[in-house]
Structure 1
């Protein structure tokens, strides 16, 4: 009767550590997604649609972006679309002052200019889901 009961999880192999890591990553995504868009200098989004083909697939693409102080032509950014109010992912084709002009790689014409305060950040990593 002198047995101690271990009430805490005790990882025993690589699979247990992988489950713990995945759980922590998912918990971080849940916490980050519950915050306002500009609450953190880093964020994530899921992009769908053909406007960035062939750079990104038409299927769902997970994006990680960081807020920076300025954006230059060639940067891929996440910004608030003035028409839908949804976050949109396009490449910056022109910028001046605090204004950027985004355009989807597959689109013929650029979008309307966007103030930098409406840009969530520059995409630094993405992969197809």
Structure 2
């Protein structure tokens, strides 16, 4: 069975589920096998949560995954938006190159980012007049 880092409930459950699902599907695992194997990827609070579920509680991995995400929603990483990019500003002492690198790391976390919104946010946040 493929090795996946164990989930303890403190990190984003969606990230863990996607990593687990991808690894298992890569090896041709069925939905039924996903349900049976997933508990081996849990530890700590997540394992405790699982152990309190009623036997035969879930009918599909999707249902199981949805329940896990709901239960550990407070650990989910907040979704970035184009609006959140508008709040980024080049800091005092930060080079333009460093700012652009930081901006790009944030922009990669925005799903379906419109290129014109990204460009506008980058230009608004940069201090360099030459860059604008």
Per the shorter chain, which TM-score range? under 0.3
TM norm structure 2: 0.19
Question: Greater helix share, 1 or 2?
Answer: 2
